[in-house]
Amino acid sequence: MGGYMADIINYLEEFNEVSIIVRLVLATIFGGIIGLEREARRHSAGFRTFTLVCIGSALCTIVNIYLFNVTGSADTSRIPAGVVSGIGFLGVGTIVVTGRKSVRGLTTAAGLWATATIGLALGAGMIWVSCLSFVLIMLTIGIMRGLSEYVVSTSRVLSVYMEFLSDDNFDNFLQYIKDKNLSIITIERKNELISKKCSAGILAEIDLKKKTKHSEILKELGNVKGLHYCEEIRM
């Protein structure tokens, strides 16, 4: 059975019509699955974007190999290098920095780049490498997401955006920090407010002194008098 599978893989690594079809089909499947995970989390780049990126990357490598076989003098690194650079520009379009300095879309941008490299590997006939990379990417953006969330949500530094009904209410926040024996690392006033009821917006980094569940601190901040809006910011 193992020898039979090895023969199939070896055949698919050869450059022929069947292997080209299989490479493009695998690129469609792998790119689509990764894209579905991103789309399920409501990201701008989803199923179609990731699928097209993976197919396009695979096709670029296939064309590159074909040109080399026909002419014997084509630069086999030029087209893949162009793909990697081009995907970098595409990825930038998925990254958004909000007015509260929250950066969103980095994982999606990195996922696009990684998906493109899977397409390049598939186009080159590196089936095993592509399959392993696909599994590792899915583990990273799926299962490992929970581990990442836990580490961030229990760290000793909390970045938080708050809006107060009046400037005087900010003193209540400072008193809370003092009572809990916490300290403020950085603080910045924001003029663009979410709520029209508020007159002061503050972006602050708080040193919790020890690893603490951020949800508990946010719940306590919600009880601070005059604090109308509170949101954790992931830098």
Same-domain pairing of 184 and 136:
no
- Quote the CA–CA distance of 227 and 207 in Å, as a whole number: 19
pLDDT at 1 over 60: no
CA triplet 17, 3, 130: central angle to 5 degrees?
55
Same-domain pairing of 137 and 165:
no
Same-domain pairing of 125 and 162:
no
* 73: Cβ contacts below 8 Å, ≥ 6 apart: none
pLDDT at 96 over 70: no
- 0.75 surpassed by pTM: no
Number of domains the chain is built from: 2
pLDDT at 99: 56
Same-domain pairing of 126 and 67:
yes
**Contact, 54 vs 28, CB < 8 A?**
yes
Same-domain pairing of 114 and 82:
yes
Same-domain pairing of 94 and 62:
yes
- Quote the CA–CA distance of 165 and 56 in Å, as a whole number: 52
Same-domain pairing of 112 and 186:
no
pLDDT at 94: 74
pLDDT at 212: 86
Each residue's pLDDT tens digit, 140-153:
887 777 777 788 78
